[in-house]
Structure 1
Amino acid sequence: MTSPKYPKVVGIENDPVPLPNLNILLLGYDLVQQIGGGGFARVFRAVNLEQHLVAACKFVPITPHTTDKERRTLEKEMRIHNTVKHVNCLAFIDACVVELKLSAKYIPGFYFLIELAAGGDLFDKIAPDVGVGDEVAHLYFNQLISGVDHIHKLGVVHRDLKPENILLDVTGTLKISDFGLAAVYMLKETGRIRQLTDRCGSLPYVAPELNGAEAYAAQPVDVWGVGVILYTLLAGNTPWDEPSIRSPEFVRYLDGEVFQEEPWSRFSPNALSLIQGLLTVEPKDRFTIDDAFRHPWCTRPSQLAKKSPATLAEALTESLRTAGDLDLAAPVLSPSNPPDDEDVEMLSAPHQTQFTQTLMLFSQTQSGVRYTPHLTRFYAGVPPESLLPAICEGLVSLGVQIKNAPPNGTTLRVRIGGQDARKEAFRGWVELDPFEYHGSHGTFCVMQRDNGNPISWRQLWRATIQTPFVEPLVLKKRAAST
């Protein structure tokens, strides 16, 4: 597989989101670490020390320029997410709003406390252009449509179903996240249904009817989204740039030519039938969620549902092991006497399940054990100050825009951004922590995505490692434990 090209984007904007004081107590929780963010929000890991609970906190700032419309949108997101209570939807815990008049003591903004998806991104565990096995896709697709069915029965449509909004909890259960574009399309009390007019979503995942100016039916938009996600599970990539005649791949789909090509030609007849039903262009002819539930590909018994979480983790990451990605992301290393860090151990404890341990989401650094839900990471045999210039050269050679950032303690950082092969924007961080390796100083490097397709981010991770600037420095082989 050739490495994708990442077109250069002119400038990486200054992050408009201020950093809340990590020492504040929010609804009984301490904000302890930023774990993500994108656009106009940040996401933090939050810990309730008294009750030994861990959550995520989504923070959206309020500024003097925040409009009434923006406030209403966030308030709507809170109301909608609070009504969604399903095992396959990220749970809403609590929320609060800090107004501008309190800015002398706090950072004003909307604070959403939500369930922490400690298993990370589902699609971070999938090898690009390979996908997962049929049984793994079957398990997670059934969980996905169960969550979507619940949302629809509440009279709500998600409208932003895409790989980066599909997460995993500590047991490997799928969780639908991010209700920022959700809308109410049906009044439960009367059953009255309205059509929608807003144009929203990301081009590779939006339904084709959003290309027009007319109002559209709500549920078929989410059905199209789950169809793209099923394809992505099985193929390891999205099917097209956008569902319009501007995309050659979509035109070949309309003409039927793609069905003789990879990866379409390797799908089983039942899987292909289901994908085609979900990705029917005419909304009134498209499958419904009930049609998907009744489809033979979905109704067969799951071979993984009753297996252990460790078995599920092994099946999920099989394509990464075959590709050699896990040998890079989680080599067995032996740092020289890493110091104990009781705080890190305590805060990581709620994540240390059979599923997350099998995924090897715990990494060794000089400051102890670090919980790292991103598998886009590697170790190098040189210290951070030597590795950072090599990574920057590698990223620039790939057409990625970089921007220096101040260190966070002993962690060196650089901000990166660009566009992937599907013309989707991505942004994130490269973070480098020191560690000791057989008496020598090395680096633990994490490429942490803020927004963008997780599969494209994995392609960028692999391409960066393969550049001549970085490749000689990477610890590739598994060292024997001592």
Structure 2
Amino acid sequence: MKNMAGGKRSDIPKKDENPCSPEETKMLDKKGFKIGDKINFGSFSKVYKAKYLDKDIAVKVIDLTKTSFEYRQKFLPRELHTLQTLRHPNIVTIHKIMTISNKIYIFMDLAEGGDILDHLKEHGAISEPQAKLWFKQAAEALRYIHDHGIAHRDLKSENILLDKCKNAKLTDFGFSRDCFDQRTGRGVLSETYCGSAAYVAPEVLRSVPYNPRLSDVWSLGVVLYVMVNNALPFDDSDLNKMITCQINKSWNFNSKVMDKLSPDLKDLIRQMLEPDASKRLTIAKVLRHPWLRDSSGTTGISLGPKK
């Protein structure tokens, strides 16, 4: 078990240089978009606060000059296709995608509540009722994309955002892909190593062809574990050792919360962290698990703004 509380992201300055040239800024202004302060960043993209007319939104700016040929030819087209295809209450809504010069601007809903990791850092382990709600919402979103023949392949706490009403929203489809051959309709196994090591299923770490929907279930199981334990089930500092621990089911619940968690919750996590993918629950079976039978998964509880 690896503690989450001490880990910190790189500090993000409140003010940042405008990602647009004066000409690009004028083009965006004409369409009603304005870009503000930086929220987050990766190796070749940055996320900023933005406005569309008077509405607060966010924008992901991808600098194509910093991307690899493989990313531009393989992963980026998949992400853009997925973003334009999916519409679900628990998936971040995309408002507009534009290409200007060497940059792609993806305008989307602003997650005013941060993400699950932000919440853990501020409040510690999430109560079981709240975790049930957010997990159910994320699982419903995952079932939706799986039903549309798409796997996410990068599920983690940072990729589940919280809106101003504290409802969970799935985001970041940079590693998503189709699960079926469009010509034959048959399922397609993935061979690409994707995602964050701490959340990745053992079959992915072992570099064998894998069913990406079942590996998504493992990753979401890690997210659920993290929510209620405020810790990771496996230490990813040594991947070979981590694979051994995954296969041998060498993990435990945090001693601080173990006695407080319901038997049904513990059972669901164990079934999702099943190292044998052929025995692992599908997302449809996850949603039929006894722990989730009494939850509607429609709106946030306890943490939303007062009416």
Instruction: Give the TM-score normalised by the residue count of structure 2.
Output: 0.83
CA drift of 1:130 comes to 4.4
Q: Secondary structure at the match of 1:20?
A: coil
Q: Distance in 1 between matches of 2:47 and 2:251?
A: 42
Given that 1:208 and 1:244 are in contact with CA atoms closer than 8 Å, whether structure 2 keeps it comes out as no
Q: 2:36 touches 2:49 (CA, 8 Å); kept in 1?
A: yes
Deviations 1:449-481 (CA, angstroms, capped at 9, x unpaired): xxxxxxxxxxxxxxxxxxxxxxxxxxxxxxxxx
Partner of 1:20: 20
Show the counterpart of 2:72. Answer: 71
Relative distance call for 1:290 and 1:191 in structure 2 (3 A) is: same
How far is 1:200 from its partner? 1.4
Query: Are positions 1:201 and 2:198 aligned together?
Result: no
- Whether contact under 8 Å (1:129, 1:237) holds in the other structure is no
Number of the residue aligned with 1:181: 175
Q: How does 1:312-323 map to 2 (within 5 A)?
A: 312-313=302-303
1:62 and 2:64 correspond? yes
What's the secondary structure of 2:248's corresponding residue?
helix
| Pairing 1:48-59 to 2, within 5 Å after superposition | 48-49=52-53, 52-59=54-61
TM-superposed CA distance for 1:228, in Å, is 0.4
Aligned to 1:118: 112
- Verify the 8 A CA contact 2:132 2:295 in the aligned structure 1: no
Aligned match for 1:33, one of 34, 37, 54:
37
**1:271 shift after superposition:** 0.6
Instruction: Tell me by how many angstroms 1:217 deviates.
Output: 0.8
Deviation, structure 1 residue 187: 4.7
User: What is the distance in 1 between the residues matched to 2:290 and 2:69?
Assistant: 48
Q: Which protein has the larger Cα radius of gyration, Structure 1 or Structure 2?
A: 1
| Mapping for residues 359-438 of structure 1, pairs under 5 Å | none
**Which residue of structure 2 aligns with residue 426 of structure 1?**
none
Contact in 2 for aligned 1:252/1:258 (Cα 8 Å) = no
SS of residue paired to 1:196: coil
| Alpha-carbon distance, 1:19 to partner | 2.7
Change beyond 3 A, Cα 1:6–1:270: closer
Aligned length: 292
Any conservation in 2 of the 1:203–1:241 contact (CA below 8 Å)?
Answer: no
CA offsets 1:102-125 (integer angstroms, 9 cap, x no match) = xxxxxx311111222122213312
Change (3 A) 1:45 1:189: farther
**Structure 2 CA distance for aligned equivalents of residues 97 and 195 of structure 1:** 31
**1:165–1:31 CA distance, 2 compared to 1 (3 A):** same
Match of 2:51 in 1: 47
- Correspondence for 1:292: 286
User: One-letter code of the match for 2:303?
Assistant: A
Identity of aligned residues (%): 28
Distance 1:145 1:241 in 2: 24
Q: How does 1:139-288 map to 2 (within 5 A)?
A: 139-187=133-181, 191-242=185-236, 246-247=241-242, 251=245, 254=248, 258=252, 261=255, 263-288=257-282
Which stretches in structure 2 are left out of the alignment for 5+ residues?
11-16
Matched residue type, 2:57 = A
CA separation of 1:24/1:44 partners in 2, compared to 1, >3 Å: closer, same or farther?
farther
Question: Aligned partners of 2:86, 2:184: CA distance in 1, in Å?
Answer: 19
Counterpart residue type for residue 37 of structure 1? F
Cα deviation for residue 236 of structure 1 reads 1.1
Kept after mapping to 1: 8 A contact 2:246/2:275: no
Measured in 2, the distance between the counterparts of 1:140 and 1:81 equals: 21
Cα distance change on mapping 1:54 and 1:225 into 2, 3 Å: same
Distance 1:76 1:301 in 2: 33
CA positional deviation for 1:188: 6.7
Cα deviation for residue 84 of structure 1 reads 1.2
Distance 1:131 1:220 in 2: 26
Amino acid at match of 1:312: S
> Mapping of 1:103-114 within 5 angstroms?
108-114=102-108
Name the aligned partner's letter for residue 33 of structure 1: D
Q: State the Cα distance separating 1:209 from its structure 2 match.
A: 0.5
Judged with a 3 Å threshold, the aligned counterparts in structure 2 of structure 1 residues 252 and 267 are, in CA distance, closer, same or farther, namely farther
TM-score with structure 1 length normalisation? 0.55
Unaligned 5+ runs, structure 1: 10-16, 100-107, 315-353, 359-482
Deviation of the 1:255 alpha carbon? 5.6
Shift of 1:178: 0.5
Q: CA RMSD in A?
A: 3.2
Change (3 A) 1:57 1:4: closer
Q: Residues 371-401 of structure 1: CA distance to partner in whole angstroms, max 9, x if unpaired?
A: xxxxxxxxxxxxxxxxxxxxxxxxxxxxxxx
Kept after mapping to 2: 8 A contact 1:45/1:54 = yes
Farther off after superposition, 89-98 or 123-132? 123-132
Partner-residue secondary structure (3-state), 2:48: strand
Tell me if structure 1 keeps the 8 A contact 2:5–2:230: no
Shift of 1:79: 1.0
